[in-house]
């Protein structure tokens, strides 16, 4: 079970799967802003809303510390108990491939920072990514941190977790997707590609990038040409740049 502290993540869960929102717990304060929207929505849907002092300190201590209550490390102003969202099958993930309108999918190759994963899902939801493949080995789980950073993105993008990414990439190609790896050593430039086909864009881990076996299953490996002295990007930023470039068309 997740304990979400970002009200926007909670609102998205209420809008898409209210039965999985078990309760809203408020601290010793009156809700305001987005949390008031959460309370109103929860009550209209019959989700329990409970009040009382949150564990970990008083509201005065939180105010003195500068904690805003949404995603701070100290006691939150409110939390929501929410069940984890379920995966879809890999066939379902790729079910919309091959249609008249081309789309983009993402694959995350052993990402280990839940903040990166959450940020990628938020960007993916913004750009209408059709699905995300995640690896189960040596990867960060879809934790409440990832859900909160995604700010609702994890409720709007389907995902599948796989133990064997190479096999999943073969299944993607069988479904009609073209697999694009991203690497600073790529031979092609990502900006030269357009959304003229269904793309599965693979983002490598924070330290090692794409594994050799992953690279072998890519149809093309692209780089993002730097214009300054830094030649690589954070994984979530790289995903955002890739989606922006492919969305130009």
Whether residue 223 contacts residue 190, with contact meaning beta carbons closer than 8 Å, is answered with yes
112-139 pLDDT, tens per residue?
999 999 999 999 999 999 999 999 999 9
Nearest Cα to Cα of residue 181 among 128, 219, 136: 219
Same domain, 34 and 101: no
CATH number of domain containing 51: 3.30.1330.30
Same domain, 109 and 228: yes
Q: pLDDT value at position 133?
A: 98
CATH number of domain containing 242: 3.40.1280.10
- Of 131-135, 140-144, 225-229, minimum mean pLDDT range: 225-229
The reported pTM is 0.90
217: burial class by Cβ within 10 Å (0-12, 13-18, 19+)? buried
Final residue belonging to a domain, choices 59, 82, 105: 82
Final residue belonging to a domain, choices 35, 66, 82: 82
198-208 pLDDT, tens per residue?
999 999 998 88
Identify the band that residue 74 occupies on the pLDDT scale cut at 50, 70 and 90. Answer: low
- Integer Cα distance of 151 and 6 in angstroms: 7
Final residue belonging to a domain, choices 82, 104, 132: 82
Whether residue 21 contacts residue 47, with contact meaning beta carbons closer than 8 Å, is answered with yes
- Give the ranges where 109-183 is alpha helix by DSSP (H): 114-127, 144-150, 153-156, 165-174
Same domain, 217 and 114: yes
83-94 pLDDT, tens per residue?
999 999 999 999
Residue that is written with structure tokens 């409720």 in the block: 155
Same domain, 148 and 52: no
187 has a pLDDT exceeding 90: no
55-73 pLDDT, tens per residue?
654 444 334 333 344 444 5
Same domain, 68 and 164: no
Same domain, 183 and 112: yes
Same domain, 8 and 42: yes
Domain interval for residue 197: 90-246
Q: How many domains are there within the chain?
A: 2
């Amino acid at each position: 079970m997740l304990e979400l502290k970002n009200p926007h993540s909670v609102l998205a869960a209420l809008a898409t799967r209210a039965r999985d929102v078990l309760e809203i717990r408020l601290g010793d304060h009156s809700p305001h802003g987005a949390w008031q929207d959460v309370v109103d929505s929860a009550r209209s849907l019959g989700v329990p809303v409970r009040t009382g002092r949150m564990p970990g300190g008083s509201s005065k201590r939180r105010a003195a510390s500068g904690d805003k209550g949404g995603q701070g490390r100290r006691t939150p102003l409110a939390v929501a108990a929410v069940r984890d969202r379920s995966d879809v099958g890999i066939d379902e993930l790729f079910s919309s491939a091959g249609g008249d309108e081309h789309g983009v999918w993402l694959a995350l190759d052993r990402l280990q920072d839940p903040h990166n994963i959450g940020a990628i899902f938020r960007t993916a939801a913004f750009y209408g990514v059709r699905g995300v493949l995640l690896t189960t080995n040596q990867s960060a789980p879809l934790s409440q941190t990832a859900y909160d950073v995604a700010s609702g993105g994890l409720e709007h993008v389907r995902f599948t977790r796989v133990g064997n990414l190479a096999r999943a990439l073969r299944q993607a190609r069988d479904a009609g997707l073209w697999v694009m790896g991203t690497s600073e050593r790529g031979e092609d430039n990502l900006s030269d590609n357009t959304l003229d086909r269904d793309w599965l864009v693979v983002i490598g881990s924070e330290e090692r990038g794409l594994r050799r076996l992953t690279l072998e299953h890519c149809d093309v490996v692209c780089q993002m040409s730097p214009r300054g002295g830094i030649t690589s990007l954070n994984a979530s930023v790289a995903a955002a740049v890739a989606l922006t470039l492919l969305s130009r068309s």
